[in-house]
Amino acid sequence: MACKGPLSGYRVLDMTQFESGTSCTETLAWLGAEVLKVERPGRGELGRYSQAEPGVDTYGFLVMNMNKKSITCNAKSPEGLELLKGLVAKCDVIVENMGPGSMDNLGLTYEACKEINPKIIYAGLKGFSQSGPYKDYPAFDPIATHTGVMVSATGLPERPIKCGISVADSGTGQMLALSIIAALLQREREGIGQRVDIAMQDFMIGLSRSQWEPYYNNGKVPNRRVANGMPLEDVGPSDTYPCKPFGLNDYVHIYCSRAPGSKQWDNLCEAIGRPDLKQDVCPEMATPRLRFQNREICDTAIKDWLKDHDKFEAMEILCKADVPAGALLSVDDITNDPQYYAPDRQMMVEVEHPQRGKVKLPGFAPKMSAVTVEYESSPALGGSNGEVYGGLLGLSDEKLAELKEKRVI
Ligand SMILES: CC(C)(COP(=O)(O)OP(=O)(O)OC[C@H]1O[C@@H](n2cnc3c(N)ncnc32)[C@H](O)[C@@H]1OP(=O)(O)O)[C@@H](O)C(=O)NCCC(=O)NCCS
């Protein structure tokens, strides 16, 4: 396994599952950390297999677990626990996102791990704050997006609608990765380890920070839900408009700045051939607020123009005219567009998976001038048992065979 990058030399004991914790440790692995993913013998972590295809790694597992090493360990057996404690001594970081209390029940409390390794960074991700009344509650992504403001601000005025991707899962995971790296920097400077806790609800509250502007402006009434409109205030144009050829994903979102003095609306009028609607020419279109109140006029002009342009053309023409516009791009659009695979971008990468063959998946978004991420497929279950238990903990082949026979590993 390649171990280059800024986190090269750091080792992570990864006791994560599903998306939130696994996306955190995948980021650490992409940045060069050696990530040892601990999984149940035979079953793997909870997200590895689906009921539909038992024994075959889910695509969800592939996308969350690149560049890691997998070891199997029954943490509930005394011998398995000893193996894990041996690894705690050899690791810089532990990351886990089990249900509340599970790590403590296993005997892997922060205090126990700190006793083994005083400089350990012990990172726990839960649904809810460990110092609040919901601390013992389980949580998946939609629980966190509902309890963390986002869904109250998303959807139609009469109906909240949750987001289609797992913002709370991967978002919390990325914030945890950032905090772990900060804790490692502090350890370098001050020589101390520490516990890092993050709750998905709390992450979502922070992510929803823009909602406090309309909250105070509108007299603290419940959140505005404006479908695809501008959530902060009533301004136009701001909508997701249908365009040629009017299929399921043939839309473009257009939003003109509400900042005083912005020329974006005038630029749009020029681009769509309607100079008669410019702010100094047409009184109904003079300000963002007036354009919202008279949105029938501006929306009709935009929709008429989009009858002759698909989402890609519309985005190109408008953005080149300095009008913010975004084509509605699906997973299919992204997967089949070569621009995302460019060597200096690698937002999409192709990996070879033993069961799934060649698979195209998203990579690491930031680009760093001194870092090149080398992408590797997610690991086979227990694929690094020999290397980790034999190499790192010094167990003999006989001992490994015995542990395997007893289903400890
Ligand atoms: C996501 C969640 C609701 C799933 O709940 P769940 O399916 O009941 O799974 P849990 O994590 O609670 O339980 C996992 C069990 O497997 C056990 N386990 C985990 N790894 C193990 C291993 N290697 N060997 C043996 N047992 C293992 C744990 O000890 C735990 O046992 P326990 O219930 O007796 O304590 C819960 O884990 C949770 O709330 N996590 C925190 C929030 C989170 O990350 N949510 C988003 C996930 S994308």
**pLDDT tens sequence across 24-82:** 999 999 999 999 999 999 999 999 999 999 999 999 999 999 999 999 999 999 999 99
Residues 187 and 282 in one domain: no
Is 50 exceeded by the pLDDT of residue 179? yes
Would 195 be classed as within a structural domain? yes
Residue pair 378/372 in contact by the 8 Å Cβ criterion: no
Residue 257 belongs to domain with CATH number: 3.30.1540.10
User: What is the reported pLDDT for 2?
Assistant: 44
Is 50 exceeded by the pLDDT of residue 1? no
Is 70 exceeded by the pLDDT of residue 235? yes
Cα-Cα end-to-end distance for the chain? 21
Would 138 be classed as within a structural domain? yes
Percent of the chain at pLDDT exceeding 90: 96
Residues 321 and 342 in one domain: no
When pLDDT is cut at 50, 70 and 90, the band that residue 219 belongs to is confident
The SS3 of residue 95 is strand
Residues 310 and 344 in one domain: no
User: What is the reported pLDDT for 222?
Assistant: 76
Q: What is the mean pLDDT of residues 108-136?
A: 98
Residue 351 belongs to domain with CATH number: 3.40.50.10540
Question: Quick one: three-class SS letters along 340-401?
Answer: HHCCCCCCEEEEEECCCEEEEEECCCCCECCECCCCCCCCCCCCCHHHHHHHHCCCCHHHHH
Is 60 exceeded by the pLDDT of residue 284? yes
User: What is the reported pLDDT for 353?
Assistant: 97
Give the count of domains, the chain.
2
Would 274 be classed as within a structural domain? yes
When pLDDT is cut at 50, 70 and 90, the band that residue 220 belongs to is confident
Q: What is the mean pLDDT of residues 350-369?
A: 97
Q: What is the mean pLDDT of residues 378-389?
A: 98
User: What is the reported pLDDT for 268?
Assistant: 98
Residues 26 and 123 in one domain: yes
46 CB near ligand 1 (under 6 Å) = yes
169 CB near ligand 1 (under 6 Å) = yes
Is 70 exceeded by the pLDDT of residue 221? yes
Would 230 be classed as within a structural domain? no
141 assigned to active site: no
Q: What is the mean pLDDT of residues 351-368?
A: 97
Stretch among 60-69, 103-112, 216-225 having the lowest mean pLDDT: 216-225
Would 2 be classed as within a structural domain? no
Atom nearest to 102 CA in ligand 1 = 35
Is 90 exceeded by the pLDDT of residue 3? no
Of residues 1 and 36, more confidently modeled: 36
Q: To test the ligand 1 pocket, which listed residue (13, 22, 98, 407) has its Cβ within 8 A of the most ligand atoms? A: 98
The SS3 of residue 285 is helix
Would 280 be classed as within a structural domain? yes
Would 3 be classed as within a structural domain? no
User: What is the reported pLDDT for 85?
Assistant: 98
Measured in degrees and rounded to the nearest 5, phi and psi for residue 125 equal: -115, 125
Of residues 91, 93, 73, the one with CA closest to residue 82: 73
Nearest CA to ligand 1 atom 30: 102
Last residue within a domain, chosen from 327, 358, 376: 327
When pLDDT is cut at 50, 70 and 90, the band that residue 199 belongs to is very high
User: What is the reported pLDDT for 224?
Assistant: 83
Residues 323 and 359 in one domain: no
Residues 164 and 41 in one domain: yes
E strands along 250-308, which residues?
Answer: 251-255
Last residue within a domain, chosen from 276, 292, 327: 327
Is 60 exceeded by the pLDDT of residue 142? yes
Query: Distance between CA 1 and CA 68 in Å, rounded?
Result: 8
Q: What is the mean pLDDT of residues 204-222?
A: 90
Atom nearest to 74 CA in ligand 1 = 24
When pLDDT is cut at 50, 70 and 90, the band that residue 218 belongs to is confident
Is 90 exceeded by the pLDDT of residue 4? no
Would 105 be classed as within a structural domain? yes
172 CB near ligand 1 (under 6 Å) = no
Is 70 exceeded by the pLDDT of residue 310? yes
What single letter denotes the amino acid at residue 13? Answer: L
The total number of residues shown for the chain amounts to: 409
Atom nearest to 19 CA in ligand 1 = 48
Residues 60 and 125 in one domain: yes
Residues 29 and 141 in one domain: yes
Range of the domain at 154: 11-206+338-405
The helix (run of H) or strand (run of E) holding residue 327 is strand 325-327
Last residue within a domain, chosen from 327, 356, 388: 327
The SS3 of residue 20 is helix
If you measure from the C-alpha of residue 149 to the centroid of ligand 1, how many angstroms do you get, rounded to a whole number? Answer: 25
139 CB near ligand 1 (under 6 Å) = yes
Residue pair 294/284 in contact by the 8 Å Cβ criterion: yes
Residues 365 and 308 in one domain: no
Residues 260 and 152 in one domain: no
If you measure from the C-alpha of residue 92 to the centroid of ligand 1, how many angstroms do you get, rounded to a whole number? Answer: 22
Query: Distance between CA 378 and CA 65 in Å, rounded?
Result: 5
Residues 22 and 101 in one domain: yes
User: What is the reported pLDDT for 164?
Assistant: 96
170 CB near ligand 1 (under 6 Å) = no
Residues 179 and 301 in one domain: no
